[in-house]
């Protein structure tokens, strides 16, 4: 469904993504892990068309989409969410969803005057769909709340909800679990699984929460320094020494170690594999 070939993104002399090749098949939930600064989000930005690659190609549904802008990719069925929630903060939760469906007749400057009936029927349809989506996400009670006033976890759910308002094929989720409490997290996982199984969404998931990766993702891809380090099922990737080195190796910065400390899985790995005094 999605094929990346030798993708490079250089910012000046720094290669954030450095020759990344990857295949995603239909129906998969691919987990993308790797230490901070590995290039995961940059890779997302390249796939979603928010950044243009320095070199390499991206094929989506058999078509070269390397240089298509974000909005064109959306119309092809490639929808993304953001690491930091990008809600439309002065719109209500309901409006946040209602703005999503493509080609709404009321978006034309003149249709509101020339084809009012058509606009109204489309609005009713979109309104119903948005309400159903909010109900599915258990956000119905905040439908008329400004999105900016929602909690961090609710915003994450709203981001997921936006992907449900269109006929998405491939959904890129950037750290859906970050800042989400445990109860909400289980709900989020469940929603992702339902979307995958019942609606046939393919997902790529960037996540630091290893529990979530283990539960949802197959295959798992670990990136480090802009490259794909290894691809395989969760346990293969987890026990691969290169992955441990990437997270905890000599080059890891203090910040990354902090990050690792908060992650129970990596903490496990560390206790098993490395003597304490090394840290």
Partner 1 sequence: MDIVGLANYAVFMAILVGIYALLALGLNIQWGFSGLFNAGIAGFFAIGAYTSAILTSLPASGRVGGFELPMVLGLLAAMAVAALIAWPIGKICLRFRSDYLAIATIGVAEIIRLVVRTEDWLTGGVRGITGIPRPFGDLPYMESQMAYLAIVAVLLLAAYLLVERQLKAPWGRMMRAIRDNENAAAAMGKRVADRRLQAFVFGSALMGLAGALFVHFNRSVTPEAIDPMIATFLIWIMLILGGSGNNRGAILGAAVIWVIWSVSELLTDRLPTEIAIQAKYVRVFIIGLTLQLVLRFRPEGILPERQHGGGTAPPRA
Q: How far apart are the first and last CA of the chain?
A: 41
Among the listed ranges 5-13, 17-25, 106-114, 175-183, the one in contact with partner 1 (CB under 8 A) is 106-114
Rule CB under 8 A: is residue 70 a binding residue for partner 1? yes
Rule CB under 8 A: is residue 150 a binding residue for partner 1? no
DSSP codes joined into one string, 103-129: S-GGGSTTHHHH-HHHHHHHHHHHHHH
Rule CB under 8 A: is residue 83 a binding residue for partner 1? no
Which C-beta is closer to partner 1: that of 1 or that of 143?
A: 143
Locate 218 and state its tokens.
């197959």
Closest distance to partner 1 from the beta carbon of 94 (Å): 5
Rule CB under 8 A: is residue 115 a binding residue for partner 1? no
Closest distance to partner 1 from the beta carbon of 243 (Å): 30
Contacting residue, 12, 117, 144, 183, with partner 1 by CB under 8 A: 144
Closest distance to partner 1 from the beta carbon of 92 (Å): 4
Closest distance to partner 1 from the beta carbon of 261 (Å): 32
Give the DSSP H or E segment for 80.
strand 78-80
Distance CA 45, CA 211 (A): 25
Distance CA 78, CA 75 (A): 7
Distance CA 62, CA 57 (A): 12
β-pair partners for 7: 20
Q: 4: Cβ–Cβ under 8 A, 6 or more apart, which residues?
A: 20, 21, 22, 23, 43, 47, 56, 57, 58
- Contact positions vs partner 1 (CB under 8 A): 48, 50, 69-71, 74-75, 79-80, 82, 86-96, 98-100, 102, 104-109, 112, 119-120, 122-124, 126-128, 131, 143-144, 146, 162, 166
């Amino acid at each position: 469904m999605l094929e990346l070939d030798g993708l490079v993104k250089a910012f000046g002399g720094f290669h954030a993504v450095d020759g990344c090749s990857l295949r995603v098949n239909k129906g998969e939930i691919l987990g993308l892990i790797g230490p901070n600064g590995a290039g995961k989000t940059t890779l997302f930005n390249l796939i979603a068309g928010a950044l243009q690659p320095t070199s390499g190609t991206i094929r989506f549904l058999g078509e070269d989409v390397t240089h298509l802008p974000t909005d064109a990719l959306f119309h092809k069925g490639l929808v993304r969410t953001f690491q930091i929630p990008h809600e439309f903060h002065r719109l209500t939760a309901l409006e946040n969803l209602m703005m999503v469906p493509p080609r709404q007749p009321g978006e034309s400057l003149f249709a509101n005057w020339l084809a009012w009936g058509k606009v109204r029927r489309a609005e009713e349809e979109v309104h119903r769909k948005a309400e159903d989506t909010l109900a599915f996400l258990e956000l119905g009670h905040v439908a008329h709340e400004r999105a900016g006033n929602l909690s961090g976890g609710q915003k994450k759910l709203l981001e997921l909800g936006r992907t449900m308002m269109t006929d998405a094929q491939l959904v890129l989720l950037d750290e859906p679990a970050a800042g989400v409490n445990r109860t909400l997290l289980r709900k989020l996982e469940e929603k992702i699984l339902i979307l995958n199984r019942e609606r046939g969404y393919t997902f790529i998931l960037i996540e630091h929460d290893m529990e979530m990766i283990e539960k949802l993702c197959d295959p798992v891809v670990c990136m480090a320094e802009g490259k794909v380090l290894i691809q395989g099922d969760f346990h293969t990737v987890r026990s691969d020494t290169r992955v441990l080195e990437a997270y905890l190796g000599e080059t890891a910065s203090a910040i990354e170690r902090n990050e690792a400390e908060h992650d129970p899985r990596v903490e496990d790995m560390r206790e098993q594999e490395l003597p304490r005094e090394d840290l």
